[in-house]
């Protein structure tokens, strides 16, 4: 596409070059977040069986022999021995490590987002981050062949660090290359690809594809393919114009990057906006963690950003999806039908994220966030009622299925996508890397704690565990309504000025 002459009006809409930059920046990065969140669901029993064969091979062999003898003699299988119980406990602990290491890595990666984005840039950070994808894919894909579950745990940690970095770098890059009028829609692309990649991991994990004893290592190694795509495409895209001007003081480079992205040389208005932000930055000291926490004009938007991240993770979305298999079983669905229902739920998540993308610049961030949380609290309440009454009223099992699916609809409407890019809208360039880093760590930490705490809470409280999420959702509805500002179509300097008053 030829760059137009100076008489052409400035373009504020989507064009092929921005589309290419979005694909290059988002597909290879947000894929890692979504795919590796959902990829272990389908092959869980297969991987546990493989781990068990390496942790206690003698017990596996003796159990198989005893079962064969019992079948031959027509006898009932003997009760599990103390050694078998101990073996199962060890396998469960190792599996918990495999699952949890992804979130631990996410916290580690998120904590260095500010350092990486400031030192090598948004584009540079995304490109270098693919080194971790290659390492993680090799460790996870080769674990079975090497006979080492330690490699699987290490691979999950490495790919988690990659996902934590991506969760900060990709939304930052997308927000900074976007025109103001498209900032929210393009920021939603991160969550859209996360939902698509979760669905893809569920599809590939089906028994007819890679969800087999021979296929699960390949299922884990597939995560390297989007990294190859990003390495092949992102080098052709420019670095963030804001990073070039405000961090590197490279006015010529920033102008060239902006002209490439807009497809026109008429970018003077945007350059003037960025220069005004640059002048404002000179009046304030370098924003570090201490400044972020002690300066009220920075601390207030930081708290808002963290609360938005907490609203996303503490809403119970992962627990509702985790509980969905049991709910579908209550309704009398067999394993295959439950798997199909789970895929349908994933597809609904993708579809509603598309709807959110279309509405974000019309309805606004605050309206969609409140709408989504309201749907979620209503559906969580309906789910709780269904789980308490399905034994006496069998039809409530089907109501529970509807409640879970509609819960996902509410999540995808706002809380699923908005927090990821909202933090980039609350801060000027000087504070954005540090704030993003803190917000991403908060998100991954909440994700980890909910995953860790749900099972024990469920054991103690039963179905009433969802009452906790109802209370949390109501709290965040009130908080968003009273505290969170609307940022739709507002320049960054106008948004930051709100918190300086």
In this structure, is residue 133 part of a structural domain? yes
Say if residue 186 is in the same domain as residue 55. yes
Query: Which tokens in the block code for residue 154?
Result: 């290490």
Nearest to residue 102, comparing CAs of 140, 51, 128, 134?
140
From CA 2, how far away is CA 117, in angstroms rounded? 30
In this structure, is residue 271 part of a structural domain? no
Q: Is 264 helix (H, G, I), strand (E, B) or coil?
A: strand
Can you give the pTM of this predicted structure?
A: 0.84
Say if residue 37 is in the same domain as residue 183. yes
When divided into structural domains, the chain yields a total of: 2
Q: Say how many CA atoms lie within 13 Å of 471 toward its Cβ.
A: 5
From CA 260, how far away is CA 2, in angstroms rounded? 9
Say if residue 426 is in the same domain as residue 337. yes
Say if residue 308 is in the same domain as residue 225. no
Q: Is residue 205 within 8 Å of 42, Cβ to Cβ?
A: yes
| pLDDT for the residue numbered 8 | 39
Distances from the Cα of 69 to the Cα of 64, 65, 80, 82, angstroms: 9, 6, 15, 20
Say if residue 60 is in the same domain as residue 156. yes
Residues ≥6 apart with Cβ < 8 Å to 81 = none
- Let me know if 320 is exposed, middle or buried by CB neighbors in 10 A (0-12, 13-18, 19+): buried
Q: What domain range is 92 assigned to?
A: 12-65+82-237
In this structure, is residue 252 part of a structural domain? no
From CA 393, how far away is CA 372, in angstroms rounded? 29
Say if residue 311 is in the same domain as residue 225. no
What is the DSSP code (8-state) at residue 75? P
From CA 318, how far away is CA 324, in angstroms rounded? 10
Say if residue 156 is in the same domain as residue 214. yes
First to last CA, the chain: 44
Say if residue 289 is in the same domain as residue 167. no
| pLDDT for the residue numbered 89 | 81
Nearest to residue 339, comparing CAs of 224, 217, 441, 202?
202
Q: Which residue has the tokens 């971790």?
A: 132
Say if residue 368 is in the same domain as residue 475. yes
Which contacts of 209-214 are long-range, i.e. CB under 8 A and separated by 24 or more positions? 210/43, 211/42, 211/43, 211/46, 212/46, 213/46, 213/49, 213/50
Radius of gyration of the chain (CA): 24
Segment-wise mean pLDDT, segments of 10 residues, the chain, 501 residues = 40 78 91 89 85 76 50 52 76 85 93 91 95 96 93 96 94 88 81 90 86 92 95 95 90 92 87 83 73 85 94 85 66 70 83 85 88 94 88 82 89 88 83 88 90 78 88 96 88 78 67
CATH code for the domain in which residue 210 is found: 1.20.1250.20
Q: Is residue 141 within 8 Å of 220, Cβ to Cβ?
A: yes
Q: Which of 237, 269, 300 is the last residue of a domain?
A: 237
Alpha-carbon torsion angle 163, 165, 170, 175, nearest 10: 140
From CA 483, how far away is CA 370, in angstroms rounded? 12
Q: Is 486 helix (H, G, I), strand (E, B) or coil?
A: coil
Q: Which of 237, 264, 299 is the last residue of a domain?
A: 237
What is the DSSP code (8-state) at residue 172? H
Say if residue 303 is in the same domain as residue 205. no
From CA 481, how far away is CA 65, in angstroms rounded? 63
From CA 114, how far away is CA 439, in angstroms rounded? 11
What is the DSSP code (8-state) at residue 181? G
Q: Which of 198, 219, 237 is the last residue of a domain?
A: 237
In this structure, is residue 17 part of a structural domain? yes
In this structure, is residue 58 part of a structural domain? yes
Say if residue 407 is in the same domain as residue 465. yes
Where do the DSSP E strands lie in 23-80?
Answer: none
From CA 373, how far away is CA 409, in angstroms rounded? 10
In this structure, is residue 344 part of a structural domain? yes
Q: Is residue 106 within 8 Å of 444, Cβ to Cβ?
A: yes
From CA 465, how far away is CA 446, in angstroms rounded? 17
Residues ≥6 apart with Cβ < 8 Å to 356 = 188, 191, 368, 412, 413, 414, 416, 417, 418
Query: Which tokens in the block code for residue 248?
Result: 């590197």
| pLDDT for the residue numbered 344 | 82
In this structure, is residue 487 part of a structural domain? yes
Say if residue 326 is in the same domain as residue 199. no
Alpha-carbon torsion angle 222, 226, 229, 231, nearest 10: -100
In this structure, is residue 392 part of a structural domain? yes
What is the DSSP code (8-state) at residue 77? P
Beta-bridge partners for 4: 264
């Amino acid at each position: 596409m030829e760059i137009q002459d100076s008489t052409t009006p400035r373009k504020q809409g989507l064009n092929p070059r921005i589309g290419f930059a979005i694909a290059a920046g988002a597909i290879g990065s947000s894929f890692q977040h979504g795919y590796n969140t959902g990829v272990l669901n389908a092959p869980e029993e297969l991987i546990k069986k493989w781990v068990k064969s390496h942790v206690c091979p003698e017990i596996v062999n003796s159990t198989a022999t005893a079962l064969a003898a019992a079948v031959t003699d027509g006898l009932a299988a003997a009760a599990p021995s103390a050694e078998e119980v101990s073996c199962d406990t060890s396998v469960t602990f190792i599996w918990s490590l495999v699952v949890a290491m992804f979130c631990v890595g996410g916290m580690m990666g998120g904590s260095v987002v500010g350092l990486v984005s400031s030192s090598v840039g948004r584009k540079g950070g995304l490109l270098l981050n693919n080194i971790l994808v290659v390492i993680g894919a090799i460790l996870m894909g080769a674990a079975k062949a090497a006979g080492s579950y330690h490699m699987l745990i290490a691979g999950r940690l490495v790919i988690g660090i990659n996902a934590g970095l991506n969760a900060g770098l990709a939304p930052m890059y997308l927000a900074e290359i976007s025109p103001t009028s498209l900032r929210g829609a393009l920021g939603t692309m991160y969550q859209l690809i996360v939902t698509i990649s979760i669905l893809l991991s569920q599809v590939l994990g089906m028994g007819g594809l890679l969800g087999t004893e021979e296929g699960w290592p390949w299922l884990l190694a597939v995560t390297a393919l989007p990294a190859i795509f990003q390495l092949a495409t992102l080098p052709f895209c420019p670095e963030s114009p804001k990073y070039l001007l405000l961090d590197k003081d490279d006015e010529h480079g920033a102008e060239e990057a902006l002209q490439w992205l807009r497809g026109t040389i008429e970018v003077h208005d945007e350059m003037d906006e960025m220069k005004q932000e640059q002048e404002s930055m000179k009046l304030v000291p370098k924003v570090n963690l201490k400044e972020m926490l002690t300066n009220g004009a920075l601390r207030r938007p930081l708290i808002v950003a963290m609360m938005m991240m907490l609203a996303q993770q503490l809403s119970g979305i992962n627990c509702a999806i985790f509980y969905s298999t049991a709910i579908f079983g209550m309704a009398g669905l067999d394993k295959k039908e439950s798997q199909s229902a789970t895929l349908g739920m994933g597809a609904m998540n993708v579809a509603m994220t598309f709807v959110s993308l279309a509405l974000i610049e019309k309805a606004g961030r605050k309206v969609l966030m409140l709408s989504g949380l309201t749907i979620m609290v209503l559906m969580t309440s309906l789910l709780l009622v269904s789980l308490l009454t399905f034994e006496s009223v069998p039809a409530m099992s089907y109501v529970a299925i509807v409640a879970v699916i509609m819960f996902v609809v509410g999540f995808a409407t706002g809380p699923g996508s908005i927090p990821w890019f909202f933090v980039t809208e609350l801060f000027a360039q000087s504070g954005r890397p540090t704030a993003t880093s803190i917000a991403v760590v908060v998100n991954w930490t909440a994700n980890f704690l909910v995953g860790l705490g749900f099972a024990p809470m469920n054991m103690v409280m039963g179905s009433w565990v969802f009452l906790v999420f109802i209370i949390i959702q109501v709290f965040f509805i009130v908080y968003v309504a009273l505290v969170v500002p609307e940022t739709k179509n507002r320049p960054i300097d106008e948004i930051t000025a709100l918190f300086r008053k």
